Structure 1
């Protein structure tokens, strides 16, 4: 089919799992994953409506993009797993 995206899979989690970060209820589980195509997937809170108007003039967001927020702790714990290149 025309326009079909190639199959992508999750290669690994970056940082600690939500449970390791203290989330036992499943209600707040931001997460970061490396994908097989080299991109990264983020599970976070969609705050597009709140933050869109606050973006600096040098930033842009396409209609298909969302502003997703993750906790500072999630990113700091993932830092060790983020490749340099």
Structure 2
């Protein structure tokens, strides 16, 4: 599924800002955002080449998709802002 992202905009951050997570050096500052179309954007460390070989056999990745790592702390702090439905 290739989506048209030309109109999507970041509407809010999920979780705590990187500076409040003591990420002040501009490096390894993962973040999660909700977009205007209701989808989510993840900013993290690109790890496709490293992790793709270990994907489960029932997982698939399109050419335009990337595997991105975020820290456990980032996701846990965002949990309160992630909608249930």
Tell me the TM-score normalized by structure 2: 0.92
Cα RMSD after superposing both structures: 1.1
Give the match for residue 51 of structure 1.
Answer: 51
Instruction: Give the C-alpha shift of residue 63 in structure 1.
Output: 0.7
Pair 1:25-2:25 in alignment: yes
CA distance in 2, matches of 1:5, 1:42: 14
Give the match for residue 60 of structure 2.
Answer: 60
Matches within 5 A, 1:33-48: 33-48=33-48
Gaps of 5+ in 2: none
Gaps of 5+ in 1: none
| Aligned length, in residue pairs | 82
Which structure: greater helix fraction? 2
Structure of larger gyration radius: 1
Give the match for residue 82 of structure 1.
Answer: 82
Tell me the TM-score normalized by structure 1: 0.92
Instruction: Give the C-alpha shift of residue 5 in structure 1.
Output: 4.8
Pair 1:11-2:22 in alignment: no
